[in-house]
Amino acid sequence: MAFRTVIIGGDAAGMSAATRVRNLRAEAEVVVLERSRFTSYSACGIPFLVGGLIAGGVEALVARSPDEHRRRGIDVRTNHEATVIDPDAGEVEFVDEHAGRIERIGYDELLVATGGKAIRPDLPGIELPFVHGVQSLDDAQALLGLAEAGCRRIVVVGGGYIGLEMAEAYIERGCTATVIERAAQPLHVIDADFGGRVADAMRSHGIDVRCGVGVDGFEPGAVLTTDGPVEADLVVLGIGVEARSELAGAAGVELGVRDAIVVDDRQSTNVAGIWSAGDCATSTHLVTGRQVHIPLGTYANRHGRVAGINMAGGDARSPGVLGTAITKLCSLQIGLTGIRLDEASDAGLDAVATTIDATTVAGYLPHATPMTIRVVAERGTGRVLGAQIIGGPGAAKRIDTIATAITAGMTLAEVADLDLAYAPPFSSVWDPVAVAAREAIKAV
């Protein structure tokens, strides 16, 4: 039998790996078992689809269809759900939903790229049909259909990225939107004062943001909260994503932080011949060296590529992650990378945080808008550890400069002296990143 690679999951990580194996090992048989009918799609685009910014339905979010992958020599089997991994036999059991039967397939190398799933707390009524996650294109199809069918009272439970973007999307649809967040602020990944600015921006956009409010359950037409019932035609779960790791765990694959599959820098698990990548797997944080679970499409693609190279016999390494992320919520852009001050303290690092206010472009231009940058650096060495940026158009993408600096191990002084571009429509003469670094030098 020819060398066979089996991949469970046909989205970003799985198809990145499949493509690498196909390109590097021409004689290999590459089989992908995908539980849905889609491959290589962008879940990040779902809010923009629901909000009406994207035409063409859910198919518009598919980067490469199953047939396109098949034409490239990859045996993609949609509506095939893996149910058992048998490492001793080197086999995967799966349900072929087309034929309605259970089958097995052998493998030489196996990639578990089962992705993530919306966190669904154990609350009364959570399984009611008007409660939806935002993770797959099946979710997108349901949410888009409900929006077009006239759902008007939308409640988002949780203040994560996707949940907040969905609230804005439904406002653009002419609906009402209420965000219920148990914490004192939305977006727990940023500092409280930045989160407060996000909440204010969303309220100014017509979104009812209720922080410090818990959810007790659901009943038809309402969300039951600690602040009383909230009427709802549709509930969107925006609490976050957890690893879909049960299949691997049952096969003896080690699970770690947040029950994500533990992998090394080659994307290998503790079980010989089994690899993992994507939202179901851990990553290593570049600053702290700790195992983390950060479900982002950028990491899924990158780590799937690394896994594919290694499964084909190569030697690639995942360098670690910083949690670099960017989003736009109403009038604000938000970017973050590395660690916050509280996270630095928790990791045993002696750090300081410095905040500066600036403008997105030269302040005398009419389209200049405020922006704030907060930089976290190690006391004594001045090593950059993290940053957050919030502001108007043109603010948040500057986070890439700081992510690059952290990856390179740069100090504040080195960042302050970077040769950054200047023209009034793009920046003040001293770019705000350099200004923030120079100000932070005084504190370390």
**CA pair distance 322, 302, nearest whole angstrom:** 13
Residue 434: its H or E element: helix 432-441
Is 211 catalytic? The answer is: no
Q: How many CA atoms lie within 13 A of 107 on its CB side?
A: 27
Among 181, 161, 200, 440, CA closest to 328: 161
φ, ψ (nearest 5 deg) of residue 326: -150, 145
Residues 6+ apart with CB under 8 A from 193: none
Token pair in block for residue 414: 């080195």
Q: Indicate the SS3 state at residue 190.
A: coil
Name the nearest CA neighbour of 441 among 358, 382, 355. 382
Q: How far apart are CA 31 and CA 6, in angstroms?
A: 5
CA angle 113, 117, 120 (to 5 degrees): 155
User: C-alpha angle with apex 40: 246 to 335, nearest 5 degrees?
Assistant: 85
Distance CA 230, CA 237 (A): 15
Sign of CA dihedral 391, 394, 400, 405: negative
In a 3-state reduction of DSSP, which class is residue 61?
Answer: helix
Stated as kind and residue range, the H or E segment containing 229 is: strand 228-231
Rounded Cα distance, 100 and 60, in Å: 29
Residue 129: Cβ within 10 Å count: 8
Given CA atoms 35, 275, 64, 41 in this order, what sign does their dihedral have? positive
Q: What single-letter DSSP state applies at residue 262?
A: P
- B/e letters for 14-26, b = 16+ CB within 10 Å, e = fewer, are bbbbbbbbbeebe
Among 44, 151, 175, 330, the active-site one is 44
CB of 412 closer than 8 Å to CB of 443: no
* Cα R_g (the chain), whole angstroms: 23
Q: List active site positions.
A: 44
